[in-house]
Amino acid sequence: MSVKEEAKNLLGKGMDGVLFYQMKDGSAIPHLFTSKDIDEMPDVREIPDSERYPLSDILSKLLMRFSSAKFGIVARGCDERAIIELEKHQQIDTSRVSLIGFACSPELAKICSCSKPYTESLADEMNEAQEISRGIESVERMSTPARLGFWLSNFSVCVKCMGCRNICPLCFCKECSLQDEDLVESGVLPPSIPTFHLLRAIDMAGRCVMCGLCEEACPAGIPLRTLYGKVSEIVREELGYVPGTRGVKSPLEELGSSVGSDDDLKS
């Protein structure tokens, strides 16, 4: 069954809209399909590999704005992982979401260094994906001074567009540490080295679902997949946590939530 037929079924079952891409002048752009325009929903193969957007973040915004509506979403593996992780952070109410999954092309999976370029519903049909390099090994092979130089030179070209944060499906905080004057001085380029990038890297630990949208959005070409891939590797090896998997919350979140209640803080 095509995703369009699956989406039609969802609308028939009372969903208010299905989030996916619309084709416009040869480009795929995010769009919420309703019963009025569902016939225009393209097939997954029509979506160019280079045109991915943070659909999970859009879904989160829609759920908050339309507080009683139900939505379907045609999702890639990374969209699904972000939805799972966002639910753990109370940003998505999955009881109001139905997911139609699809697999990325092998070419895109390679570009993304993605080890799971498909949704859980398709896991049985897929070949076991290879763990692909995120550039971590080549950076770790460098001598310590060379590695430091590699990162400092990459951080020095940052134009502080905030694109990495803005496009990140897991960046939902209302107050952002990157805009804290005590941590990152405002009005200075490049932004505080290495504080700015390490702050974001620490926030990505236990959260990053490796969608790679940050690296794609970076006008300075900073290897953010490698940076966040490394912090994710540390969290996986030290704490056994992989963001975007069902079940337990990130141990980093548990640490925060068990320290006292709001009342304790006030007194």
Query: Which residues sit at the interface with other proteins, rule CB under 8 A?
Result: 14-17, 19, 22, 24-32, 34-36, 48, 50-54, 58, 61-62, 65-66, 68-70, 159-163, 166-167, 216-219
Provide, rounded to whole angstroms, the least separation between the CB of residue 54 and other proteins.
8
Closer residue to other proteins, CB minimum distance, 36 or 141: 36
Provide, rounded to whole angstroms, the least separation between the CB of residue 194 and other proteins.
20
Nearest Cα neighbor of 126 from 138, 134, 116 is 116
Closer residue to other proteins, CB minimum distance, 34 or 138: 34
Provide, rounded to whole angstroms, the least separation between the CB of residue 263 and other proteins.
35
Nearest Cα neighbor of 212 from 73, 204, 120 is 204
Query: CA 184, CA 187: separation in Å to the nearest integer?
Result: 9
Closer residue to other proteins, CB minimum distance, 30 or 135: 30
**What CA–CA distances, in Å, run from 172 to 35, 45, 60, 82, 166?**
30, 30, 9, 12, 9
Q: Is residue 172 classed exposed, middle or buried when 0-12, 13-18 and 19+ CB atoms within 10 A define those classes?
A: middle
Closer residue to other proteins, CB minimum distance, 15 or 41: 15
Provide, rounded to whole angstroms, the least separation between the CB of residue 166 and other proteins.
5
Nearest Cα neighbor of 184 from 171, 199, 203 is 199
